[in-house]
Structure 1
Amino acid sequence: MHSPDTDSNVRRPGLRAAVVMRREYIGNQWQPWRWNLSDVVPNEAAFGDKPRLLIKDEQQECWLHPNFLVELSLGDAEGYYLNVTTDHPCFWVVWRMEEEALLADEPLAVPQIVTLSYHDAGRWLDAQENVEQVAAPAEVVFWLKDFVAQHHVLEPKRRQRPQSFKSLQDRFGSPARVSTDKFRGGGGRG
């Protein structure tokens, strides 16, 4: 990836990315083709501003969607923290099928948003959007880790209050009784 934007006109740290969507032949009688996210790559001026077809044959079709701004927000530092502390930090892409796409003969999968926030991805998934992920390159992960180190504050663990107000239950969920009587010797009370 190219280095993130440092232009003084940019209010929040960000980088420009392009999304590659892939339509692949799966041969299912009800759905012969399916769309999925193929990659998120550094945006280049040569890509232009409009989506374009990269590859088309009988097995696949790949479309490049350029010029997405991936911004970092101070208010979502925890979402970025959750991303960079996983084994595989990633980009998430929200995409939708567009029936009226003038660029293709069939409906086209069009990316809407690209993010590095775990929280954003979760909200879109909750809204039942198409959200897919792809691994973020090392330079993006380092950039994101630097942002997290500067802006994320871990909340201190709160001490759990004693549970003395709760009624006791045995292992079967029935109310339990506690006695302070002492038992001595062969089963008798005394």
Structure 2
Amino acid sequence: MSAFVLTTVAVLMRKEPLQGPMARWQSSRWVLDDVVPHEDSFGLTPRCLRENEGDALWLYPGWPVELFTDDAEGYWLNVSAPTPSFFVMWRLQEREGLEPLAVPQAVSLSYHDAGRWLDAQESVETVAAPGVLVEAVRAFVQQHFVPEVKKRQRPQSFQGLTDRFGQPASVSTSQKRRGPGGGGQSHE
């Protein structure tokens, strides 16, 4: 399994106020705002860009986006989708005396990664990936993805019959089976 860093990004997480019926139970929620190219001026430390009552924007710089040769199918599924996307897995992190903060845990371009995270009931959100990056992933996929050859499955009606132990079985309509030992009465 070889990997290389395709790019480095910064993740923007936004807290937004809720309105309507949902606001009865929860005044705000965290959402993925954007994934942008990392710039040196961002530094490497997460920081708050703005925060006021019910609204906040946090920058999480320095996330490497890696491509792994053994996950080429996951990237292919992404670049062949109508909107190729970044997948960001994030968690709420408790802060002493303050409301919880949404903190990214991973960034990927693989459908397989996103699927595993969702199966683990993690918070995963998407944002469209820029076209230049999608083309780079597409080139990676063309180099490393070998589609699995699908074998034609034989129709069920042509397959041999087996019992639950895998032994050959047959069906006969000429004579009804009798009870144990072949004797006994017929149950007609």
> What TM-score, normalized to structure 1?
0.77
- CA deviation map 1:90-109 (0-9, x unaligned): 000000000037xx932100
Match of 1:175 in 2: none
1:59 shift after superposition: 5.3
Match of 2:65 in 1: 70
Matched length? 158
Match of 2:159 in 1: 165
Identical counterparts, % of pairs: 53
Please tell me whether the aligned partners of residues 30 and 102 of structure 2 are also in contact (alpha carbons under 8 angstroms): yes
Match of 1:95 in 2: 90
Match of 2:15 in 1: 23
Secondary structure in 1 matching 2:98 = coil
1:59–1:98 distance in 2 versus 1, CA, 3 Å: closer
Distance in 2, matches of 1:57 and 1:146, equals 43
- Which is worse superposed, 47-56 or 124-133? 47-56
Match of 2:109 in 1: 116
Amino acid at match of 2:134: V
Distance in 1, matches of 2:74 and 2:42, equals 30
Distance in 1, matches of 2:125 and 2:62, equals 18
Please tell me whether the aligned partners of residues 3 and 68 of structure 2 are also in contact (alpha carbons under 8 angstroms): no
- Which is worse superposed, 150-159 or 118-127? 150-159
Residue 82 (structure 1) aligned with residue 77 (structure 2): yes
Amino acid at match of 1:16: T
- Which is worse superposed, 88-97 or 20-29? 20-29
Match of 2:56 in 1: 61
1:166 shift after superposition: 6.9
- CA deviation map 1:22-56 (0-9, x unaligned): 00000402100100101000011111111111123
Distance in 2, matches of 1:31 and 1:13, equals 39
> What TM-score, normalized to structure 2?
0.78
1:165 shift after superposition: 2.9
1:58 shift after superposition: 4.0
Residue 135 (structure 1) aligned with residue 128 (structure 2): yes
1:154 shift after superposition: 1.3
1:158 shift after superposition: 1.0
State the superposition RMSD in angstroms: 2.2
More strand by share: 2
Distance in 2, matches of 1:108 and 1:57, equals 14
Match of 2:169 in 1: none
Secondary structure in 2 matching 1:56 = strand
Amino acid at match of 1:160: Q
